[in-house]
Structure 1
Amino acid sequence: MLRYLLVLTFLFQFFTAQSQEKVTLNGYVRDAGNGEELIGVTVFIPSLKAGTVTNDYGFYAITVPKGTYDIQYSFVGYKIENVKLELNGNTSRNIELSTEAEQMDEVVIEAKPLDENVASVQMSKNTVNMTQVKKLPALFGEVDIIKNIQMMPGVITAGEGTSAFFVRGGSGDQNLILIDEAPVYDPSHLFGLFSVFNADVIKDSEIYRGGIPARYGGRLSSIVDVRTKDGNNKCYEVNGGIGTLASRVAIEGPIVKDKSSFIVSGRRSYADLFLRAAGEDNIVYFYDINAKVNLKYNNNNRFFLSFYNGRDVFKFGGDFGFNWGNMTGTFRWNHLFNDRLFMNTSLIASNFDYKLGLDDAISGFEWTSNLQELSLKNDLSYALNTKNELSFGYHLTGRSFSPGHIQPTSGSSFFSELKLEKMYALDHGIYVSNQQKVSDKFMLDYGLRLSVFQNVGTADVYLYRDPKDNVQQDRTDTLHYDAWQTIKTYVNLEPRLGIRYALDEKQSIKVSYNRMVQNTHLLASGTVPVPFNTWNPSSYYLKPQLADQIAGGYFRNFNNNMYEFSIEGYYKDFKNVTDFADNAQLFFNDDLSTEFRQGDSWSYGAELMLNKKQGKLIGMATYTWSKTMREIPGVNQGKEFPANHDRRNVVNIQASYDLNEKWTFGAAFTYSTGRPITLPEGKYEFGTYNPDHITDRNRYRLPDFHRLDLSVTLNPRKNLSRKWKGQWVFSVYNAYNRQNPFTVYTRTKEDDDGNVVGDGTEKEARLIYLFPILPSVTYNIKFNCF
C-alpha cells in the first residue's frame, strides 16, 4: 500500500510540474427541466480537437492552455449548447441542457464533436437509452432494461421467460449487476419474467462486455451499471402506470429547491388480489420499492442516499410457500478537492436471501439462506492535462455467506434443526489507470487492478483422503480457524488495456485486453439461475475463476453520426470454471467441496451492430456468432463439450417509429439457434433400480428460437391547460404464436389417453413451452411540474 501511495505522489508532482502554464475548466452538466446530472455528456473544444465526457456523477474536468475557446456540450436527445469562455485561470462552469422537445428553433453546428462510437477508446460497451426502450414492446407492458440488454450484441439468453443472460461465453453468475453501485445477486421477478429494475426511476444504464475499466472487478464476463434518478430539484412530479399484471407510481420533487431533492417509487403485481377474491389458496406476487435523497451542500460537496427493496412471494394451498428478495443501500459523497481532483466515496450494503417453508404439524419446516455484503469504495479521478486523465482507488468488501438453515416450525415436526456453517470473506481491490491521448489518431487506456481475496474464519475445514471422491467422502482430519483468521489468500493482478486508432473522423479501429478475477461462485447444476441456488466464496478447495479476453473491432459512423456501425471479434479463455459431477448433491451437504469440479472453458465469436440514433425511425440490428466450449476433469469423461448457453447464431432487431405526436409503433424480433441439452439415451438395470443411461453432456440441441413482439403507443392530443398527460401502450408478445421450447424432459412413453405403452421401459421426449400470443395494455400517467 505504501509503495502504491508513493507512486501516486510522484505522478502528481511530475504532471503538476509539467502543466503549470495550463488551466482547468470543470463543472456539472444537468438537465434544465429537472436538475438531474447527465452522465456521458461530451464536452468538446473544436480548436484543440480535445474533449472529455461527464463521469458517472455528471462531473467533468479538462485542462487546457490559457486562452479563449468555443466549447460544445452535446448529449443524445438534448440541444447542443455552445459556450464561449475566456480561460485565464481555473474556471468552474455548470451547464444545463434542454431536451430537443424544448428546442424552439433549429440550431446548426458547424463543427460537431466526434461520436463516442468512433472517438472513444472504449469498446464492447452499450448504453441503454430509456426514452427509446419505453417505445419498444414489453411483456405484459412492463418495460424491462434486462430484456433490452438481452438484445445487445454478444449477449445470449437462456430461453423464454428468464432474466438470465450470458455474455461472451460466461455463465449467468459471471455478470456483475449494480444498482447505484450496490450488487444485485438475483435480478429477477417471477422466476425471470421481469427484472427488479423499475424503468420509471432509471436515469442511466450501461453494459460492458469487454475492455472493462480497471475500477470494476469481481466478475468475469460483464458489468451492468444502473443509476437511478436523483429526483427533480425544481418542481414536483408524479409518474405512474396501470398494467395488465402490475401497477407502479413514482413521486419526486425538491426538498430545498435547486439544492436537495427526493424520489420514491413503488411497483406491485396484483394477481394475488384476484386469487384471494376468487377464494384461491395459491398466492403469487412481487413488489419493488426505490427511494433516494440527495443534497448539494456546495459545488465541492454532494451527498446521496439511495435504497432498494424487492421481493417475490409464492404460496400454494395455504401450506407450502417460498420467497426471495434483494435489499440494497448506498451512501455516496462526491468531493472536489480542487479544479482537477474529484473523489467519490461510497458505503454500500447488499442482502440477498430466500426462504422455503411448509406449515404443517407433522412435516412443518422453514429453510433460510442469505448472502450479505458491506463495501467501502473510494474512487478518484485527476485531470492531468488535455492528454491524460488518471483514475485510481481502493475497494474493500466483506461478505457473509449463510448457505442454509433448516428448522422445524412445531414441536411435533419430524424435521430436526440443521445449520450449515457460515463462510466469510474479505475482498480488497486497488487500481490505477490512465486514459492518454497520444495524438489526434492514437489513444490509449491502460491500467492495473490488484485483487487480494481472503477466505477467513470462523470455520472448520475438512480434509479428505480423496477430495474428488463424492461417493465415499472419507474425511481424514479437521482444521479449525478462529474468527478473522485467514484460511486461504488469493492474490491476482488484473491488467487492462484499450487502444484506439482513428482512420479519420468517421471511422476507427480498436483493440482491448482485460483479465478479470471472480471470487464468488454460484453453485448451480442447471442452465437457468434460480433464486434457490447457493453462493460460495473461493476457499480452501475452490479456486478463483480467471478470464483473459482480447477483442478487436472496426467502428464507422454514417450520415452525420445518425448511424453507428461496428464489427467486433473476441477470444476469451477461462480458468477454474466450476461445474459438478453427475448426480451431485448441492443442498445441505457438509461435504460440498467433494462435489464440484474446476476446469477450462474458451469462447470466441464475432458481433455486428447497426444502430440508428436519430429521426422518426430509430432502432438497432445485431448479429452474433459465437462458440463456447468446456473441458473439466471428471465431467463428461474429461472430454470437451459445449457449454449449456452455447448458441451459435443470434439475430436481434428492435425499432420504433414516431408517426406523429400521437402515434408511435414499435417492434422487436429475435432469433437464435437452439441451446445444448443433455438427454438420456436409454436405461439399464441395477437391482430393482432402473436409472437413465446418459452419454455425452450437451450432445443434443433444442429447436431454434424466434419471436416477434409488437407495440403501439397512443399519446392523446395535448391540452396545454392540463397539468397531466396520459399515454396508452398496447403490446402483443409473440405475435405469430410461436411455440418456443423452454426445455425438454423425458418420461415413460404413453399413448394419447395417458396409458403406458408396452412394458414401461420405452422413453419419450416431451417439449415444454411457456407463452402463446399474449396481448396486454398499459395506461401511463404523468403529472407535470406543480
Structure 2
Amino acid sequence: MKKRAILASLLCLFIIQAGMAQNEPQYTLSGYIKDSSSGEELLYANVLEPTTSAGATTNLYGFYSLTLPAGQYELTFTYLGFQPLTRAITLSADTELNVELTPSSAVLQEVVVTDKAANESVKQVAMSRIALPIEDIKKMPSLMGEPDVIKTIQTLPGVTSAGEGTSAFFVRGGSADQNLVLLDEAPVYDVSHLFGLFSVFNADIIKNAELYKGGIPSKYGGRLSSLLEVTTRDGNAKQFSGSGGIGILAAKGTIEGPIVKDKASFILAGRRSYADLYTRNSEQLDGTAVIFHDLNAKVNWKASNKDRFFLSAYSGRDIWQFDDAFQMDWGNTTTSFRWNHLFSERLFSNLTLIYSDFDYALQDKDEVQGFEWVANQREASLKQDMTFFLNPDITLKFGYQGIYRRFTPGTITPNGDDSIYETTEMQKQFALDHALYAGAEHQVSDRLSLEYGVRYSLFQNIGEGTVYDYAEPGNNGNIEIVDSTVYGNFDIIKSFQNPEPRFGARFMIDDRQSLKLSYNRMVQYVHLVSNSTVPIPFATWSPSSPYLDPQRADQLAVGYFRNLQDNTYEFSAEAYYKKSTDVTDFVDNAQLFFNPHIVTEFRQGESEAYGLELFLRKNKGSLRGFVSYTWSKAEMDVPGLNADQPFPANHDRRHNLNVAMNYDINNRWNVGANFTYATGRPITLPVGQYEFDGYLANYYSERNGYRLPDFHRLDLSATYEPKKNEGRRWNNSFSFGVYNAYNRKNPWTIYTQTKQDDDGNIIGDGTEKEARMVYLFGAMPYFTWNFNF
C-alpha cells in the first residue's frame, strides 16, 4: 500500500505540474545542435532563454527540447570551445530549430578541460560523474606516447589501479569486473591490449567519455561499482578528412567523410602494434611475437528530421606467441545498431540492437601433448529508451532492456590423433536478463533539483544444462555428487528479481556553490571467475545460478561543489559509503582452469568501502590541469576465507594522489607533467614452511596480510605543432616525453624462491627462501608523430 501511495503521489505531482503549465498556451522548440565544420552533433550543448532562466541541454545524440509560453524570445546556444550563437524567434507553434555552432580557436586555447557549460559541475544534479575530454587526454603524458582513456581514469579521485602495465581499474572499493564499460552502448568485457599496456579505446575516434562512480541513472544496471560510457564520433558530414599517428610501439589511422553531404557519413579507424617486429629481430626473443590490433567503423544516416540511424562496430585482438610452440589470444567484437525517432517535439526514442562477444584461447602446438582451448562470453540485447520532456521543469525517462547471454567456459581440442588429450567441452550456461526502468529529472525550484527513479531487474538462469547437487558444495577438493537435474532449452533453472531505486538531489547555496546527495542500489548477475588482479584474459564469466547469488550494493554519497574566480577553478569534496552483499571470491588455491565443478570453489560474503575524494581543477589560462586526492578503505568479509576474519580487498589503497598539468608556452609548444602517488596494494606472502609427506611447502600469512612498497612516478611530455600553412589542410604535431622520468622501480609483484647468489647458484641446503621483487618499467622515452588533413 505504501508503494502505491508513493506512486499515486508522484503521478499527482506530474499532473499538477502539467496542469499549471497549461494556464497559458505553450509550445515546444526542439532540434539538434551541431558542429558547423564537421556536422557532428554536440553532446550536452546548452540552450538558454535568459529572461525566464528556462533552458535545456542536448542528449547523447545532440537533441534538445524546450517548452515555453507563446511569445518572442532571444535564445542563446552555447558549447565550450565554440562561439555562442543567439537566435531571435517568435514562438506561436511547435517549432523545429536546428543550429550549427562555429568552433572558436580563441576559446579552444582558453578552455580545453571540459565540453560542458561553465559552472555545470555546480549546477548539474549528477554527482560522482566526471567527463573525460579527449583533447586533454591527448595532451597528457602517456606510456609509449599513446593517449589512453583508461590510463586517464586511473588518475581520477575514487579510482585505483593494480599498478603499472594494467588497464584494470577499481572504483570506490569495487573489483574490476564490477565496472560496466560501454562502447556505443555495447558492453566491452576486456579493455586491455598488450596485457594492459594500452586499452582498447582509440582516442582518435572517441567523441565523448564519461565515468559514473555513483548516482548512476536508472537507465543503467548490471554492475555494482561504476559505469564508463564511451561514444564514438559519427564522421565528418561536410568533407573528407583523415588523421593518423606513428609511435614507438603502434601506428594508427582514421578516415572519415560524407556518403551524402549533410545526410550520411562514415568513419573508419584502425590501429596496430609492431612490437613483433622488434622480437623477430632479437636473438634472445626469436620466435616470440606480441601483437594487437583494433578496428572501429561507424556509419550514420539522417533519413528525415524525425529518423536517424547509426551502425557502429568494433573488433580488437591480442596475440602472444612464444617460441613458435605456444600461443594465446583474446579479443572483443561489438556491434550496435541504433534508431533515433521523434514521436513528437517532446517524445524522443532510441531503439538499440546490440551484440557483444569476448573470446580467448590457448594453444600448445606440440603434436603429442598439444591442444587448443577456446572459450567465450556472448550476448545479444534489445534496448528501448524513451525521453519525454513533460515541461521545462520535468523530464521523464523510461524504457526496457532484454539480454540473451551464453557462457562457454571452454572447449579442448587435441592437435591430432596421437595427442594425449581428448576433445572435451565444459557445459555451456545460458541466461535471460530483463530490466524495466523509469526515472525523472525534476527542477523543484531555482535552488532544489532532484533525479529519482527505479529499475526493476529480472534474471533467469536457463537451460539447457545439468545442475548437480553436492553433499558439501563448500568443501572444495572433496566433491561428492548426490543428485542431478537435467533442464531443456529455455527451461528456467533459477530466477532472481530485484528493485533498484536511485535518487539524487542538488541544493544551490548560491550561483557558485552547491550541496549534493545521491543514493543508488545496484545488482550484478554475472560474475568474473578469477583470483588475480593481473589482466590476463583467462578469467571466465559465470551467471547467477542455484549456487551463485547475485551481488548487491547500496551506495550513499554526499558532496560539496564550488567554482572559483569566474569558473576558472572547480573544487569538489565527496564522501561515500558502500555496502555490498554476496560479493564473490574463491578459496585459496582454487582450481579455476577447466573445472566442471567450479561452483564448489565459490565463496560469497560482504564488502564495505568508504572514503573521501578531493578534486581541484583549473579550466582557464595557459596553465591547466587538476589535483585529485582520495583517502579510502575497502574490506572483505567472506565466510570460509582467512579463518572467517575480515581482510583488505586486493585493490585497497589508503592514499592516492594525482597531479596532472598542461602548460601552453605559445601557440606551438605545450608541455605536460603527471605525478602519481599511491600506498602499496595488499599482497599475501609466505611466512614460513612446513613438511608434508617429504615435501617442503610454504605457509602463508593471513590473506593480504602484507603490502607492497608505495607507488610513485613522474611522467613528462611536450607537444610541438609547426606553423600552419594558409590554405592547406595538412597539419602535423610531434609529441615526445619520458615515462617514469626519475626511473622509479615500482613493484609489480613479489614472489619467493630458494635463496641464490648473483650467478643463480643455490645457497646452503636449499631450504632457505628469499623474496624477489618484479618491476615492469624504468625510465622510458617516447616519440609520436601525429597528422591530420
Aligned CA distance change for structure 1 residues 278 and 114 (closer, same or farther; 3 Å)? closer
If the length of structure 2 is used for normalisation, what is the TM-score? 0.96
Contact 1:243 1:778 in 2 (8 A): yes
How far residue 18 of structure 1 moved from its aligned partner, in angstroms, is 5.0
SS in 2 for 1:235: coil
How far residue 631 of structure 1 moved from its aligned partner, in angstroms, is 0.4
User: In the alignment, which residue of structure 1 is the partner of 2:125?
Assistant: 121
Aligned CA distance change for structure 1 residues 113 and 82 (closer, same or farther; 3 Å)? farther
User: In the alignment, which residue of structure 2 is the partner of 1:423?
Assistant: 429
* Number of aligned residue pairs: 775
**Which one-letter code corresponds to 2:464 in the other structure?**
T
User: In the alignment, which residue of structure 2 is the partner of 1:561?
Assistant: 567
SS in 2 for 1:390: strand
Aligned mates of 1:369, 1:762 — CA distance in 2? 41
Alignment of 1:528-547 (within 5 A): 528-547=534-553
SS in 2 for 1:207: strand
User: In the alignment, which residue of structure 1 is the partner of 2:240?
Assistant: 236
Deviations 1:730-770 (A, max 9, x none): 12100110000001111111223322222222211111100
Aligned mates of 2:616, 2:15 — CA distance in 1? 45
Contact 1:49 1:440 in 2 (8 A): no
**Which one-letter code corresponds to 1:394 in the other structure?**
Y
**Which one-letter code corresponds to 1:28 in the other structure?**
Y
Identity of aligned residues (%): 53
RMSD of equivalent CA atoms: 1.9
How far residue 450 of structure 1 moved from its aligned partner, in angstroms, is 0.2
1:711 corresponds to 2:717: yes
User: In the alignment, which residue of structure 2 is the partner of 1:485?
Assistant: 491
SS in 2 for 1:681: strand
Where in structure 2 are there 5+ consecutive unaligned residues? none
Aligned mates of 1:727, 1:643 — CA distance in 2? 43
Contact 1:44 1:113 in 2 (8 A): no
How far residue 103 of structure 1 moved from its aligned partner, in angstroms, is 7.2
Aligned CA distance change for structure 1 residues 104 and 681 (closer, same or farther; 3 Å)? closer
How far residue 371 of structure 1 moved from its aligned partner, in angstroms, is 0.3
Aligned mates of 1:650, 1:433 — CA distance in 2? 34
User: In the alignment, which residue of structure 2 is the partner of 1:579?
Assistant: 585
1:637 corresponds to 2:643: yes
1:342 corresponds to 2:348: yes
Deviations 1:254-313 (A, max 9, x none): 000011000001100112234445683111110010000000111110000001000001
If the length of structure 1 is used for normalisation, what is the TM-score? 0.96
Aligned mates of 2:108, 2:505 — CA distance in 1? 40
SS in 1 for 2:219: coil
1:303 corresponds to 2:309: yes
1:373 corresponds to 2:345: no
Aligned mates of 2:52, 2:511 — CA distance in 1? 14
Contact 2:246 2:786 in 1 (8 A): yes
1:741 corresponds to 2:747: yes
SS in 1 for 2:105: helix
Q: 1:332 aligns with which of 328, 338, 344?
A: 338
Contact 2:713 2:741 in 1 (8 A): yes
Aligned mates of 2:571, 2:745 — CA distance in 1? 33
Aligned mates of 1:113, 1:333 — CA distance in 2? 28
Alignment of 1:227-376 (within 5 A): 227-276=231-280, 280-376=286-382
Q: 2:511 aligns with which of 505, 510, 533?
A: 505
**Which one-letter code corresponds to 1:169 in the other structure?**
G
Q: 2:96 aligns with which of 51, 69, 92?
A: 92
Q: 2:158 aligns with which of 142, 145, 154?
A: 154
How far residue 359 of structure 1 moved from its aligned partner, in angstroms, is 1.3
SS in 1 for 2:692: coil
Where in structure 1 are there 5+ consecutive unaligned residues? none
Bigger mean CA deviation after superposition, 270-279 or 336-345: 270-279
User: In the alignment, which residue of structure 2 is the partner of 1:220?
Assistant: 224
1:610 corresponds to 2:636: no
Aligned mates of 1:439, 1:68 — CA distance in 2? 24
Aligned mates of 2:102, 2:673 — CA distance in 1? 29
Contact 2:80 2:107 in 1 (8 A): no
1:731 corresponds to 2:724: no
User: In the alignment, which residue of structure 1 is the partner of 2:660?
Assistant: 654
SS in 2 for 1:131: helix
User: In the alignment, which residue of structure 1 is the partner of 2:183?
Assistant: 179
SS in 1 for 2:121: helix
Aligned mates of 1:227, 1:106 — CA distance in 2? 25
How far residue 16 of structure 1 moved from its aligned partner, in angstroms, is 5.5
Contact 1:172 1:529 in 2 (8 A): no
Q: 1:138 aligns with which of 139, 142, 167?
A: 142
Q: 2:73 aligns with which of 69, 74, 78?
A: 69
1:769 corresponds to 2:775: yes
1:687 corresponds to 2:687: no
**Which one-letter code corresponds to 1:369 in the other structure?**
A
User: In the alignment, which residue of structure 2 is the partner of 1:669?
Assistant: 675
**Which one-letter code corresponds to 1:384 in the other structure?**
L
Q: 2:212 aligns with which of 208, 215, 236?
A: 208
Q: 1:31 aligns with which of 21, 31, 35?
A: 35
**Which one-letter code corresponds to 1:223 in the other structure?**
L
SS in 2 for 1:298: coil
Aligned mates of 1:760, 1:578 — CA distance in 2? 38
Deviations 1:169-202 (A, max 9, x none): 0000000011000000000000100000001100
**Which one-letter code corresponds to 2:675 in the other structure?**
F
**Which one-letter code corresponds to 2:95 in the other structure?**
T
Contact 2:737 2:781 in 1 (8 A): yes
Contact 1:139 1:731 in 2 (8 A): no
How far residue 52 of structure 1 moved from its aligned partner, in angstroms, is 2.3
Q: 2:172 aligns with which of 159, 163, 168?
A: 168
Bigger mean CA deviation after superposition, 465-474 or 734-743: 465-474
How far residue 722 of structure 1 moved from its aligned partner, in angstroms, is 2.6
SS in 2 for 1:503: strand
Contact 2:79 2:117 in 1 (8 A): no
1:189 corresponds to 2:193: yes
SS in 2 for 1:684: strand
Aligned mates of 2:673, 2:99 — CA distance in 1? 36
1:60 corresponds to 2:64: yes
**Which one-letter code corresponds to 1:175 in the other structure?**
N
User: In the alignment, which residue of structure 2 is the partner of 1:445?
Assistant: 451
SS in 1 for 2:621: coil
SS in 2 for 1:527: coil
Deviations 1:350-404 (A, max 9, x none): 0000011011211110000000010000000000111100000000011100001
SS in 2 for 1:134: helix
How far residue 84 of structure 1 moved from its aligned partner, in angstroms, is 2.5
Aligned mates of 1:594, 1:567 — CA distance in 2? 43
How far residue 695 of structure 1 moved from its aligned partner, in angstroms, is 3.0
Aligned CA distance change for structure 1 residues 277 and 676 (closer, same or farther; 3 Å)? closer
1:461 corresponds to 2:467: yes
How far residue 66 of structure 1 moved from its aligned partner, in angstroms, is 2.1
Deviations 1:493-534 (A, max 9, x none): 100000000000000000000000001100111123421111
**Which one-letter code corresponds to 1:97 in the other structure?**
L
**Which one-letter code corresponds to 2:210 in the other structure?**
E
Aligned CA distance change for structure 1 residues 691 and 377 (closer, same or farther; 3 Å)? same
How far residue 615 of structure 1 moved from its aligned partner, in angstroms, is 2.0
Contact 2:167 2:199 in 1 (8 A): yes
How far residue 83 of structure 1 moved from its aligned partner, in angstroms, is 2.3
1:473 corresponds to 2:470: no
**Which one-letter code corresponds to 1:681 in the other structure?**
V
**Which one-letter code corresponds to 1:451 in the other structure?**
S
**Which one-letter code corresponds to 1:155 in the other structure?**
V
**Which one-letter code corresponds to 2:723 in the other structure?**
R
How far residue 779 of structure 1 moved from its aligned partner, in angstroms, is 0.5
